[in-house]
Amino acid sequence: MQLQHLFALVALAAVAPSGVLGAESANSNGYYQEPSGSASFTQYSGCSSPACGIAATGYTAAMNQLSFGAAPGDGAGDACGRCFRLTGSADPYSPSYTGPFNSVVVKVTDLCPVSGNEVWCGQTTSDGENQFGMPVHFDICEDTGGAGAFFPSGHTALTGSYTEVSCSEWSGSDESQLWDGACLSGESASFWPSGTGCGNQGTAPS
């Protein structure tokens, strides 16, 4: 009887919902999702239709696919809605530049896919660093001012560090849902690796 009860508990755990339907928990399926570490940073524009399905008015960023938690077309990954403090410390193209550098808090709303972005967002399960030796990459949105606040004049590609923080430290507001399945639940989830927000979709790039 005790063994049957244990099997029942295991079966219930296997079907318990996590984040959104069909999603896997943070750090599952090979995704690299750590609350702090080294990262690289670039900037992009055209942030009005992000992969998480909800744009925002504050500083936002796209995250590399291996950390975002979903492939293009698969919807929101577990990074969606999470907030991070980003701090620059070096320009890989101008090693002699010593600052000043800045810190900003961004909310992740978008994906930087491996395909087409191999230099910065090419991290995979078989090669966990990009071409600048960084396991994580943030592509900071220009449209809402985040890139302008973060990058020193004339320096639009940096390396440095990131730390997951409470979204109470982020200034901005979420906009309307763009499609069914949109998700920014990371904004209220516990930090990685224990907390799961939107959940991961599919498997990590290999």
Write down the pLDDT at residue 26: 67
- Spatial distance between the Cα atoms of 71 and 98, rounded to a whole number of angstroms: 36
Q: Where are the alpha helices (DSSP H) in the chain?
A: 2-15, 65-68, 118-121, 146-150
Least confident of 4-13, 121-130, 173-182: 4-13
Q: For the chain, what are the domain ranges?
A: 23-188
What gap in Å lies between CA 64 and CA 68, rounded to an integer?
A: 6
CA dist., res. 111 & res. 170, Å (int): 19
Q: Reduced to 3 states, what is the DSSP secondary structure of residue 42? A: strand
Q: Which residue has the higher pLDDT, 152 or 14?
A: 152
Under 8 Å between Cβ of 110 and 62:
yes
C-beta separation of 62 from 76 below 8 A: no
- At the topology level, CATH places domain 23-188 in Barwin-like endoglucanases (2.40.40)
CB atoms within 10 A of CB 48: 11
pLDDT in tens, 42-100: 999 999 999 999 999 999 999 999 999 999 999 999 999 999 999 999 999 999 999 99
Task: Tell me how far apart the alpha carbons of residues 67 and 22 are, in angstroms, rounded to a whole number.
Answer: 18
Pairwise CA distance, residues 101 & 90, whole Å: 8
Tokens representing 197 are 């927000």
- What pTM was estimated for this model as a whole? 0.88
- Cα separation, 34 vs 46, in Å, equals 27
